[in-house]
Amino acid sequence: MKFQIFRWKAIGPLLLFLAIIGILVWIFAEPVAKDTTEEASTELLGTQVDLGKLDLFPRQAAVDLRALQIADPFVLTRNLLEADEIHLKLNPAALAEKKIVIEQLNLQGMRFGTTRKTPARPQKGDGFAPQVYRSVQEWTNQFNVPLLSLTPIDTVRQLVLNPGQLTTVREAQALTARTDSIRQAMEQGFQQLKIAATVDSARQLAERLSATDPKKLGLDGTRQAIESVRQTLKAIGDAKQRVQGLERNVNGGVQLLGQGLRSLEQARAKDFAFARSLLKLPTFAAPDIGSAFFGKVSIERFKQALYWAELAQKYMPPGLLPHPAPGPKRLRAAGSTIEFPKVKEFPRFLLEQGRLDFSIGGGSVVHGNYAATVRGLTSTPALYGRPAVVSAHRRAAGSAIAAIDVDAVINHLSARTHDSANARLQGVKLPSFDLPGVPFRVAPGIGSSSLTFSLRNGGAELSGRWAIQSNQVSWVADTGSRQLNDLERVVFRVVSGLKELQVVAEVTGSVKAPKLAVSSNLDQAVSQRLKAVVGEEVAKAERLARAKVDSLVADKVEPLKKQIASVQGEATQRIQSEKKRLDEVEAQLNAELKRLTGGLAPGIELPKIKL
């Protein structure tokens, strides 16, 4: 019987099977694509993305997205962006390579900051975006923003401090232990020097030679004596080197102890601040007032900018090296999917050109002419070769928002990345906010706001500036829950008399170690008024706190200072003493050597002694 490789009769059922798969794809492609787009975008951005409808146009290689909502990751009841319709024209050649290259994006019905009907789901899990969200939340905790305390002085409580609470006490105990260990190490070092044996033997040799007449020694005897002197001098040289080595070690240890003492002073300043905070004294240093009033709200602005910058760092890596990403979710393990970018080929994702030109008419608060462009937003900036640029502008005199100018540049062409964003809003109804620590709410009214934010070299250099300005500011005291106390009334009188508000917050440093400085036109006014009212009382309470801290740390720090001084003094004295002994015996030997060689016949050269 002839063996057949192919089962020809099965071609029909196979074609039928493939046709069924084709029909299923045709029927379910759009809903599946919609769900996948929602899921992938939510995971990528770390915030809920909703899509009303998705239409595919395979012949035109185009996609229409309708009713797009992107939730604000930091305010779940608000949408960051809402768009009625987005038309995407894709590059078919790129699609064949499983790459998304958007040649043209048109967007209609765009709105910002709209309220959501249902709050967005908070993003959880170990995905990159939730991790960034958590790290940005933690980032805000680094800032030591003082709370404005306006507790009246007559309610100051008795200051009760436990020594264990004080950093100085803890550091002093640690430094005592360190001093003991340095002293022990030093003692061991002196014992290992073995200077006494070297000095004694050298001295004995010198004494023996001094009692000898070189003329009676003869040539051999003299040569032997010189050789003995040479060896002893070498031993002295070695001992001197050991002393120098020990001196270096001792100096290092002494320096460490000195640093420890200086850090004790810093710890004492911290403890004083801690004791002061227990007394809940009113703050009236001008920089503290600026930070207390507007620090929190400023950090919120920078936090949002940092979140998007961190996402850009991840999704737009510089260079052309293979780039791993988590694989697709499935029953089987997801693994990692690795991208292999290639010069002159399409990147995995590219938005070549997005233009948004549209108007909103009527009496709506958002009416006006909008113009926005997005260019070069890509997963592989090195392939595109130009920085990504986002800009949005709006002009509409007479509306609640008179002008918006947003410009952002994401430059990840090389490892020296630079992301910068600049947003300016003029004639904007600025959102009101509560002041932390006090029952006041400030409504800045119509004014201007600007935010500049820059992140270089993957977060190594951070700089941001947020400013608001308004001359229609109004203040509301929340007296519903309790009456204002005297100090709060003083402050409220000061601030409510001001109709102008200028706040500037600046963040500098790096992402890991940011520094925040906030100033406002209120700082000096509030500070001076508070100082006039309660300055003397506060100074008295501060003296009390300082005295309390000093009394608790004195019995730990003062003996330690003496102990450290004793270690330093003893070490220096012993080193000098050992050096002196060695120098003396060396001089003695050199004198004997000179005497020995003086009896030799002229012309006889002695071996050179290298020390």
Partner 1 sequence: MLALLKLIQSIIKTLHSAGTPGQVAAGMALGSALGLTPLMNLHNLVIFSFLVLLNVSFGGGMLGWMLFVPVGFLLDPIFDSFGLRLLTSASLRPLWTQWSNTPLLPYTNFNNTVVLGSFVAWLVLAIPIFFAARYGVAKYRATLGERVRQSRFYKAVTASQVYNWYKMFRP
HSE-CB at 436 with a 13 A cutoff on CA atoms is 16
**8-state DSSP, 415:** S
Q: Residue 365 interacts with partner 1 (CB under 8 A)?
A: no
Cα–Cα distances in Å, from 143 out to 303, 308, 455?
A: 12, 20, 18
**Nearer to partner 1 (CB atom), residue 99 or residue 412:** 99
- Structure token digits, residue 381: 């900036």
Sequence-distant (≥ 6) Cβ neighbours of residue 270 within 8 angstroms? 167, 168
Q: Residue 164 interacts with partner 1 (CB under 8 A)?
A: no
Q: Which one of 24-32, 92-100, 139-147, 261-269 is the stretch in contact with partner 1 (CB under 8 A)?
A: 92-100
Euclidean distance between CA atoms 377 and 516, whole angstroms: 31
User: Applying CB under 8 A, which of residues 122, 335, 385, 431 lies at the interface with partner 1?
Assistant: 335
Q: Which one of 4-12, 120-128, 537-545, 566-574 is the stretch in contact with partner 1 (CB under 8 A)?
A: 4-12
Q: Which one of 54-62, 169-177, 320-328, 528-536 is the stretch in contact with partner 1 (CB under 8 A)?
A: 320-328
Per the CB < 8 A criterion, the answer to whether 68 and 83 are in contact is yes
Q: Residue 415 interacts with partner 1 (CB under 8 A)?
A: no
DSSP states of 53-115: EEEEEGGGTEEEEEEEEEE-SS-TTBEEEEEEEEEEEEPHHHHHTT-EEEEEEEEEEEEESPB
N-terminal to C-terminal alpha carbon distance within the chain = 103
Query: Would you call 48 helix, strand, or coil by DSSP?
Result: coil
Q: Residue 336 interacts with partner 1 (CB under 8 A)?
A: yes
**Nearer to partner 1 (CB atom), residue 11 or residue 177:** 11
Q: Which one of 175-183, 336-344, 420-428, 545-553 is the stretch in contact with partner 1 (CB under 8 A)?
A: 336-344
Euclidean distance between CA atoms 190 and 486, whole angstroms: 67
- Residues 93-132 close enough to bind partner 1 by CB under 8 A: 93, 96-99
Residue 222 backbone dihedrals phi, psi, to 5 degrees = -65, -45
Q: Residue 158 interacts with partner 1 (CB under 8 A)?
A: no
Q: Which one of 6-14, 147-155, 219-227, 367-375 is the stretch in contact with partner 1 (CB under 8 A)?
A: 6-14
Q: Residue 361 interacts with partner 1 (CB under 8 A)?
A: no
In the complex, the smallest distance separating the C-beta of residue 190 from partner 1, rounded to whole angstroms, is 56
- Structure token digits, residue 66: 């309708």
**Nearer to partner 1 (CB atom), residue 98 or residue 157:** 98
| CB atoms closer than 10 angstroms to residue 470 | 22
Q: Residue 327 interacts with partner 1 (CB under 8 A)?
A: yes
Q: Which one of 152-160, 167-175, 331-339, 369-377 is the stretch in contact with partner 1 (CB under 8 A)?
A: 331-339
Q: Residue 6 interacts with partner 1 (CB under 8 A)?
A: yes
DSSP states of 116-165: PSSPPPPP-SSSHHHHHHHHHHHHHHTS-PPP-----GGGPPP----GGG
Q: Residue 332 interacts with partner 1 (CB under 8 A)?
A: yes
Q: Residue 2 interacts with partner 1 (CB under 8 A)?
A: no
* Per-residue binder mask for partner 1 (CB under 8 A), 572-611, x = binder: ----------------------------------------
Q: Which one of 272-280, 321-329, 401-409, 452-460 is the stretch in contact with partner 1 (CB under 8 A)?
A: 321-329
# residues contacting partner 1 (CB under 8 A): 33
* Per-residue binder mask for partner 1 (CB under 8 A), 16-55, x = binder: -x--------------------------------------
In the complex, the smallest distance separating the C-beta of residue 568 from partner 1, rounded to whole angstroms, is 56
In the complex, the smallest distance separating the C-beta of residue 99 from partner 1, rounded to whole angstroms, is 8
Cα–Cα distances in Å, from 312 out to 44, 351, 411, 483?
A: 11, 14, 10, 48
Beta-strand pair 100-112/349-360:
parallel
Footprint on this chain of partner 1 (rule: CB under 8 A):
3-7, 9-11, 13-14, 17, 93, 96-99, 322, 327-328, 330, 332-342, 345-346
